[in-house]
Homo-oligomer: A and B are copies of this chain.
Amino acid sequence: MRRNVLEVALDYLAVGIDPEKSTICVQSALQALAELTMLYLNFVTVARLERNPTIKDEIRARGFGRDIPAGFLCYPVAQAADITAFKATVVPVGEDQAPLIEQTNEIVRRINNQIGHNVLVEAEALIPRVGRLPGIDGKAKMSKSQGNAILLEPEAIREAVHRMYTDPNHIRASDPGTVEGNVVFTYLDAFDENEADLAELKTRYRRGGLGDMTVKRRLEAILQGLLAPIRERRAAYAGKPGYVLDVLQEGTKKARAVTQSTLVELRSGLGLFTLD
């Protein structure tokens, strides 16, 4: 677990999240979140939690049936605590997480209503233009263990793009090809900033006369350019584990103050007894 936390922190720093501008903290070290969750659990019904589509999907996918752990059912409430403790107004999530924001805002409204003024703040989902990227084999989820992910090393990037699923009916360069569901084009849609060139490339691919290798070379160049600075930053930060731990400690300290202050406001609003 310790290693995973540090690896995620390295990823954050590597992609360019700047700890001077953005607080990076360890969620499990913020005790106020557990207490907020416990309070919020009184403002949401079991029936409502069971209607959550994300929970429904996960129950189906994991085969839990009626024997779901209570912590799993209550997880959206813990996430509501994660969001509201910081009085977040915008939460970057995937499209499938929109119901979570709705659930959070329901809790916010109920609690503000109970208190009589707005202590908590409603949040909006920030859903990115590009959804979840598929694995290089075209499967919905990219996974290191399934070998369909793109790792950070130059050779790994080259090989991954080379193995990418395209259009199985596009056998010769001269054949007309399909762009939809073609992983190479899905990635180009996400990362190619030259929209005019990309549009022309698609037209040529559809018409026939454009080989997969040409398109893949274009994508590889873009991905190499995109990932090189991330890889370099990651390597640099990996060599300074003390600094990464400092970032987490500083961020967690800051986050602890914020979350604790929201909790104090909420407890006082709800008329709970506070000793100190």
Contact = CB atoms under 8 A, between A and B. Distances in A.
A72 interface: yes
A74 B34 CA distance: 13
Given A34-B31, A38-B34, A1 B273 contact: yes
A124 interface: no
A77 B38 CA distance: 11
Contact of A72 (B32, B42, B271): B42
Contacts of A276: 29, 249
Interface in A40-88: 41-47, 49, 66-74, 77-78
A69 B43 CA distance: 7
A47 B31 contact: no
Interface string A233-253: 000000000000000110010
Contact of A29 (B5, B32, B271, B275): B275
Contacts of A37: 34, 38
Contacts of A35: 31, 34-35
Contacts of A78: 38
A275 B30 CA distance: 10
Given A42-B71, A248-B275, 7 more contacts: A1-B272, A31-B35, A38-B78, A46-B66, A46-B68, A46-B70, A47-B67
The 5 closest A-B pairs by CB, nearest first: A41-B71, A42-B71, A34-B35, A34-B34, A41-B70
23 contacts: A1-B271, A2-B273, A5-B273, A28-B273, A29-B276, A31-B35, A34-B34, A34-B37, A35-B35, A38-B78, A41-B69, A41-B71, A42-B70, A42-B71, A44-B70, A45-B66, A45-B70, A46-B68, A47-B67, A49-B70, A70-B73, A70-B74, A248-B275
